[in-house]
Amino acid sequence: MSKKEKILFTVDGFEVYDDRVYRVFNKQNLDAPSGLIKEKTSKIPSEGIGDTFSFKFIGEIWDTGFHDKSPCYRQQEAADIKDMVATRRKNILKPYQDVKGDTTAFELSNPEFLDKPHFEVFDNQTYATSDPVQRMALYAALLGKKVAPRSEEKNPVYRLCSYLIDDATRVSKQKNEDGVNLTKAVRQFEKMYESDPESLKTILTWLSLGSFSEGTDIDTISTMFRERVQDDPAKIRQFLKAYDEIKGQEEGHLKYFLHQKLVDQKGRNRNITVGANGRFFYAGIELGPEPKSAAENLARNPDLQAYREEILSDGKIVATPE
């Protein structure tokens, strides 16, 4: 594993990586006082105003995670505790002690040091894990439930937490990737609109993106497509996947065309019926619980080849049951 992929430590399942930047932001609070309704946060939105804290002192024991009696390890297996203590001392405590020149920092042997508030957390704060001091501060904030991972915002464990945290490096990389994907999707949309409108129609139907009138100038139509997908990175990735499957005629690519036919022929083709529970049937044969599953089953199940050909040909080829 490369240095950039190295996991330094994990707190409650949240993995913190080396050479990353993590950003703090206010946690939304829809029950905020009337004066804060606009901001919908738990804290007054003033930069630099936040919480100052130290490690918790629970049951007369400092909860640092740097020794096996830390309360954070309650109900965990001895072997797991040993590994976590070793990892946290190696990746968090030792680098901090080295940079501070103090081998007793955050050790149980130095209660006066532990008693001082060494950390603070506030909106828009950043932690660079390449810096041992900021790494320690991030660890303390996570361990003390001062910040909640964005993915765990609704977890009741963090109900009293005023701040969320996210991997700003990952988010930035993802945004760049999403931007590249959007540009690629628009380019592929334009190509299909001009040279293969039938295939494009099947993809748009599959992704519930509506239809586009043929004959519209390419600049206008590509702008319309961009506006429909630009705020939905997942939809963009799905479009790119569908494009690759159809153009490359990969296994299962027929599902898009079959889905289009099922949608178009529903209500017109007496062989296509829908049960009370929404399940699709063709000539009395169950295809799937809804159109997409039915299309995938038709595309991949060799026993349904005759029906597949009949549906794709709009009934010009009549299936003969064996």
pLDDT in tens, 188-236: 999 999 999 999 999 999 999 988 887 888 999 999 999 999 989 899 9
- Write out the residue range of the structural domain in which residue 173 sits: 169-250
What's the chain's Rg over C-alpha atoms? Answer: 28
Instruction: Write out the E strands in 18-140.
Output: 21-26, 50-53, 56-58, 61-63, 119-122, 126-128
* Cα(47)–Cα(27) distance, integer angstroms: 14
Least confident of 31-40, 60-69, 95-104: 31-40
> β-strands 126-128, 147-149: how paired?
unpaired
Q: Are residues 241 and 261 in the same domain?
A: no
The structure's pTM equals: 0.57
In the sheet that 285-288 helps form, which strands lie side by side, from edge to edge? Answer: 272-274, 280-282, 285-288
Q: How far is residue 32's CA from residue 25's CA, in Å, rounded to a whole number? A: 16
pLDDT in tens, 139-198: 999 999 999 998 888 888 888 888 999 998 877 778 888 888 999 999 999 999 999 999
Do 132 and 197 lie in one domain? The reply is no
Pick the last residue of a domain from 127, 161, 195: 161
Helix (H, G, I), strand (E, B) or coil at 99: helix
Of 161, 180, 201, the one marking the end of a domain is 161
What average pLDDT does range 249-271 have in this prediction?
87
What is the domain-level CATH number for residue 272?
Answer: 3.30.250
* Domain-ending residue, one of 161, 196, 226: 161
- What total number of domains does the chain contain? 3
SS3 (DSSP) at 28: strand
Task: Round to whole Å and give the CA distance between 293 and 307.
Answer: 15
Asked if 82 and 57 sit in the same domain, the reply is yes
User: 101 and 119, same structural domain?
Assistant: yes
